A and B are shown apart, each in its own frame.
Chain A
Amino acid sequence: MHIPTTITVIARVEDTHHKTLPTALLRLSDQSTEHTFTRPGEEHRFTVTAEVRMPGHEIRLEFRDRVAAQAAIQVIGVNVNGSPMGTRIYQCEYTPYDSQERLGSRLYMGLPGTWTLRLHPDDFRSTRFGFA
């Protein structure tokens, strides 16, 4: 089953003047969008629309560059079709590029790496989005 889905990931970059501000990519299925942060503490909404296969698809936010001295990125929230996912975002996994250690329930990416969250059919249930 393929579901037309718009995902928005709200992320904030570290408020520091001592590190390079990163470029991050949001990937969903075969679609992606990227943003280069331009000021410390900036909050950005990454939005992607794709046909998502259920179950199994994941949301993936990643640093474009692997250089370590980049400001951290913290995920603030995820919206599915405009409906906030809320605390479900803690069922995520953060993997720094260097260590490749898979860290569960981390919203703060202190080092360049990837942040992933697997979509679940419950994310589309009527209590969150749509009329049913």
Chain B
Amino acid sequence: MDPQHLRELAKHVWGQDAEHSMRDFEPSDGLLTLYNNTIVDNAQALVGKRVLDMGCNNGLYSYLAMRHGAAHVVGVEPRGMYVKGLNAFSDAHGLPMEFHRGYDTDLPRLVREHQIDTVMLIAMDNHIDWEGAMVEIRKSKVQWLIMRLTPVPDSWMGYNSELIKFADHGGGMPVGFTLHYSGHNSSTLSGINPVHRDLADPDTGFQHTDPSGNFDNESSTTFINRRSENYTQQFIQQCGYTVESHKTQDSPLVESPSLPSSLEGFYHWYLLRNPKN
């Protein structure tokens, strides 16, 4: 991971305003851990492969997959400012990457059109129908699926002090294998949330309720399902994937001011092989 490359990438994604803040950027220990578990340890699914990064966000993992030997990377993201910036970065340096504005529902078409070997679903379980995506990938000619998920601990499916602490922060309550919670959606993630994406600004993802940009926070809600670890493992098994590797994060990576840090940092990484191909 070359910090100078990431500073250059940031300038394309966020413009000149990013320059000062990125001047002294160095990867944190947390970022290096994510990098190792998401990219380095999954080299067999990346080197020489055509890779689709669904929900590529600022393009970090698309870029890292390319640097680790992917033959070609296609990134898909609903927020246009990222797509424009990443294409500019890729074009400026002649990199084998292309980015498109799109949604998870485009996945079957993209896999066919770009003859994809490997799909990356990184931290998509908050935002898309990831189980539906897994079924589509399983039916396709894709060979590998790299996933990073944030399932909630099985213990949270019952009442205990940890869960009550989470609920006190407005985080919701469990129903069976899933934790449902809702809140006001005033971030760029409105562009991803299927409830609001038709109303979201195509460039930034922010939801505006009328053409003049006036915002009604009360009607901009988000509704998220978080799956339990047990549910996640059973779903993968039922889909028929071969689990090549499964790693869990045993300590939080990210500190959040509003949620218990264990929720933000409790990642699971899966490298799955599609036995059909």
Contacts and interface: CB of A to CB of B under 8 A. Distances in A.
Interface of A: 3-6, 8, 47, 49, 76, 79, 81-84, 86-88, 90, 121-122, 126-132
B217 A90 contact: yes
Contacts of B187: 86, 127-128
B31 A81 contact: no
29 contacts: A3-B21, A5-B21, A6-B17, A6-B20, A6-B21, A49-B20, A76-B213, A81-B17, A81-B18, A81-B20, A81-B22, A82-B14, A82-B16, A82-B17, A83-B14, A84-B81, A86-B188, A86-B204, A86-B206, A87-B207, A87-B215, A90-B215, A126-B254, A128-B187, A128-B188, A129-B18, A130-B10, A131-B25, A132-B31
Interface of B: 6, 10, 13-25, 27-28, 30-31, 58, 60, 81, 186-189, 204, 206-208, 213, 215, 217, 220, 254, 257-258
B95 to A, nearest CB: 17
Given A5-B20, A129-B18, A131-B6, 6 more contacts: A4-B24, A81-B14, A84-B81, A87-B220, A130-B25, A131-B27
Given A82-B18, A83-B14, A86-B186, A132 B28 contact: yes
Contacts of A82: 13-18
A56 B207 CA distance: 27
Nearest to B258: A122
A55 B31 CA distance: 23
A49 B23 CA distance: 13
Given A128-B187, A131-B58, A4 B10 contact: no
A84 B21 contact: no
Contact of B257 (A49, A76, A122): A122
B17 A47 contact: yes
Given A6-B18, A81-B18, A131-B27, A87 B10 contact: no
A84 B206 contact: yes
A130 B22 CA distance: 8
Contacts of B208: 87
B119 to A, nearest CB: 22
A49 B19 CA distance: 10
B149 to A, nearest CB: 17
B10 A131 contact: yes
Contacts of A81: 14, 17-18, 20-22
B48 to A, nearest CB: 25
Contacts of A130: 10, 21-22, 25
CB-based closest 4 A-B pairs: A82-B14, A82-B17, A86-B206, A87-B186
B40 to A, nearest CB: 16
Contacts of A127: 187-189
B21 A4 contact: yes
